[in-house]
Each structure stands twice: as C-alpha cells, then as structure tokens.
A and B are shown apart, each in its own frame.
Chain A
Amino acid sequence: GIQVEQSPPDLILQEGANSTLRCNFSDSVNNLQWFHQNPWGQLINLFYIPSGTKQNGRLSATTVATERYSLLYISSSQTTDSGVYFCAVVPYSGGSNYKLTFGKGTLLTVNP
C-alpha cells in the first residue's frame, strides 16, 4: 500500500517562530488532507489539498503532486498550535476516495 512519511517527528519552537512540516508519499494521490489533533484527540481538518497551494490565516499548505510531497507552513506560531499534525492521503486507484492512510505525525510543541 501507499507509504506516508512525515518529518520531522518532533519539533520544538518558541512562540512567534515559523515552521515547515513535510509529508512525502509513495504514490499518486486523489486526496491529501492535513489535520491537527487537539489535546482531547479530535482531528481538526486544516486543508484538503491534493495539489496546489492554499492559505488560511497563519497556516498555508502546498502539495507538489508530481514530486509526491506536501508542505504545511505555520507562521508566527502560538502556544495553541501545539499538538500533533497529521498528513493523510488516498492513493489514486479509481476506488473510494475516503480510505485515508495517515503518516505517523509531527509533534509540535510551542513554548511561550
């Protein structure tokens, strides 16, 4: 099956710093989403981005589908950005678009 690798596994920042999280995937994808898992376990949808670039406030994401990677940028980080960030994909197989394969996540800690 498709492999999803996220880097770095852990990241510690001071409040106000910028960061880039990376997601590499081993096959073409139909669907790629970035999530933030809050301390209570809920996965918050950040971006649906199988290709191209999107921005939402301090967060932006870019997926280069031909090179099989996606980047999540966090600018001017805040303590509330702490948590685990997951990348999840659905391979381009012609089947259901809803069977997500997740990476292992990046644990982000933002210190005040």
Chain B
Amino acid sequence: KAGVTQTPRYLIKTRGQQVTLSCSPISGHRSVSWYQQTPGQGLQFLFEYFSETQRNKGNFPGRFSGRQFSNSRSEMNVSTLELGDSALYLCASSYPTDTQYFGPGTRLTVL
C-alpha cells in the first residue's frame, strides 16, 4: 500500500500571500489530521477531517482552514501568511485503524 503523500514538499511564500497544501491518505483511510511543527511550539494539532466533515480543531486562528474531498484527500489553506507560519506541516491518515500514519510533510517558509 502506498503511504501518505503530501504536496508540495517545499514552499516559499511572502507575507500576506495565501497557500494551499495537499494530503492524500493511505488508500482506505477516511480520517485525515493536520499538524504544525515549529522549533518553539513543537508539534501542534491543527484539525481533523472525517467523511468530509471537520471533527476536531486545534487552537489556531481562522486563517488556517481545511477541507476534505469525497475520496478522503484533504487540503489545508493558510491565508494572509505571517512570518510565524513558517513551519513543517504534517498530515496523518487513520481509520478504521486507530494508528496514525504520517506523510513526509510540507516545509513552508514565509519571507
């Protein structure tokens, strides 16, 4: 089975722009979760989608949003980028298994 894939792997944006990241879960998995990793805050939960519905949300501003499609692929969007949004963004897929499997991540740099 193919693993979780994320595109793009690297991204450079400037402040004020917006960005869309994509995640394709393991075939058959229906839950996709997103996490942000920064040196200062560590790994933090952003949100989780299941069957095209957001089921959980972390403590992030409304500039961070996401969606899930009927094939379980998910996208997350960050609008009005700030320098502090520079991070590694990881997505994970799961269900029906409880184990979460992570993708390789998208490294976003905001200049």
Q: Number of B interface residues, CB 8 Å? A: 27
Given the known inter-chain contacts A41-B107, A98-B56, please indicate yes or no for A48 contacting B43, CB distance below 8 A: no
Question: A97-B98, A100-B43, A102-B44 are known contacts; what are 9 more A-B pairs with Cβ within 8 Å?
Answer: A43-B102, A45-B101, A86-B43, A95-B56, A96-B55, A98-B94, A100-B100, A101-B45, A104-B42
Contact-residue bracket for chain A: 20 to 34
| 1/0 contact string of B73-111 vs chain A (CB within 8 Å) | 000000000000000101010110011111111010000
Number of A-B contacts (CB under 8 A): 64
The reply to whether A100 and B99 contact each other, CB–CB distance below 8 Å, is: no
- Cβ-based interface call for A73 (8 A): no
Residues of chain B with a CB closer than 8 A to A98's CB:
31, 33, 48, 50, 55-56, 92, 94-95, 98, 100
A sample of 13 cross-chain residue pairs with beta-carbon separation below 8 angstroms, ordered by A number, consists of: A35-B102, A41-B107, A42-B103, A42-B104, A44-B102, A88-B43, A98-B48, A98-B50, A99-B56, A100-B45, A101-B45, A102-B42, A102-B44
List residues of chain B with CB under 8 Å of any chain A CB: 31, 33, 35, 37, 42-45, 48, 50, 55-56, 58, 88, 90, 92, 94-95, 98-105, 107
Contacts of B37 in A (CB 8 A): 41
Complex interface bits, A66-109 against B, C-beta within 8 A gives 1, otherwise 0: 00000000000000000000101000000111111110110000
> Contact between A31 and B56 (Cβ–Cβ < 8 Å)?
no
* CB <8 Å contact, B45 and A31: no
